[in-house]
């Protein structure tokens, strides 16, 4: 049994996690794979994971680990002989994998593999919506890298990544501080009809519906999934204005991101 844990707000990491599971399942060993949301699993008071292999797939946030991934990796008890982790990224993964390596090695796991998977840049608040041709190019890159990632897991490859990335660590730390207040900056437009899609797709259960409108709480990881996936484009943040186009991986349906 291979357990694949993913964190995904707009579908990039979910797509790669699904593809890795598919390739492993169709391999000559016909291994069974289970896809598990890190955001949902992290809600448990006790996390004990037993598997022949454990795989992480998650995005890089400001050159570092998303906070929920960091907490999950620290809190979980892993009973497995092998682990692999793959970071999806738009511009650069920075020191993301090195930060995870430090956590896992402290748990006594010595058979580890770390890989990078390029994907479409989806932090619209800073970069704006990606062009269609850019998305197409990045998806092709993602598909190639994901197939290689699956082969690495099947062959139980091992490697190491640098853990000394001071600039990445500083940027990631500053972002982690900002996340604690950024949730207060989301705004909901008058055209919101209270459909509740944002609440259902939030990977960390940070949105609650109150009086027919979404209420953003301090559990927010700033994945921007709500902004990108709102059917009426009724949520704004920074450069993402009301009505601005959002982003979702072109091969992921919105229903796959909902809890």
SS3 179: helix
CA atoms within 13 A on the CB side of 64: 25
More confident of the two residues 147 and 130: 147
Q: Give pLDDT tens digits for 4-29.
A: 999 999 999 999 999 999 999 987 66
As a whole number, the mean pLDDT across the chain is 94
Confidence grade of residue 238 (pLDDT, cut at 50, 70, 90): confident
Interatomic CA distance for residues 56 and 3, integer angstroms: 9
Q: Give pLDDT tens digits for 156-213.
A: 999 999 988 999 999 999 999 999 899 999 999 999 999 999 999 999 999 999 999 9
DSSP 59: E
**Residue ranges of domains in the chain, CATH in brackets:** 2-166 (3.40.50.360), 176-257 (3.30.70.20)
pTM reported for the whole predicted model? 0.95
Q: Give pLDDT tens digits for 220-233.
A: 999 999 999 999 99
Averaged pLDDT for residues 218-246: 92
CB 42 within 8 A of CB 5: no
153: pLDDT strictly greater than 90:
yes
Q: Give pLDDT tens digits for 98-121.
A: 999 999 999 988 899 999 999 999
Q: How far is CA 225 from CA 8, 169, 220, 258, 259, in A?
A: 8, 24, 11, 10, 13
pLDDT reported for residue 259: 73
46: pLDDT strictly greater than 90:
yes
């Amino acid at each position: 049994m291979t357990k694949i844990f993913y964190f995904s707000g707009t579908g990039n990491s979910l797509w790669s996690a699904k593809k890795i599971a598919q390739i492993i399942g169709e391999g000559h060993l016909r291994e069974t794979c289970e896809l598990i949301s890190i955001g949902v699993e992290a809600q448990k008071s006790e996390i004990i994971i037993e598997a022949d292999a454990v795989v992480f797939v998650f995005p890089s946030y400001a050159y570092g680990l998303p906070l929920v991934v960091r907490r999950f990796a620290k809190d979980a008890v892993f009973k497995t002989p092998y682990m692999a982790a793959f970071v999806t990224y738009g511009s650069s993964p920075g020191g993301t994998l090195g930060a995870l390596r430090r956590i896992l090695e402290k748990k006594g796991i010595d058979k580890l593999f770390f890989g990078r998977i390029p994907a479409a840049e989806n932090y619209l608040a800073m970069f704006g919506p990606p062009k269609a041709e850019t998305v197409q190019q990045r998806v092709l890159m993602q598909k190639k890298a994901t197939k290689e990632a699956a082969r690495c897991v099947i062959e139980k490859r091992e490697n190491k990544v640098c853990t000394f990335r001071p600039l990445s660590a500083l940027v990631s730390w500053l972002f982690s501080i900002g996340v604690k207040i950024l949730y207060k900056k989301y705004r909901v437009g008058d055209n919101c009809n209270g459909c509740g899609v944002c609440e259902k797709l939030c990977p960390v259960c940070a949105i609650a519906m109150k009086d027919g409108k979404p209420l953003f709480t301090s559990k927010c990881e700033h994945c921007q999934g709500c902004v990108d996936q709102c059917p009426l484009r009724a949520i704004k943040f920074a450069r993402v204005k009301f009505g601005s186009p959002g982003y979702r991986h072109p091969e992921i349906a919105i229903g796959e991101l909902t809890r």
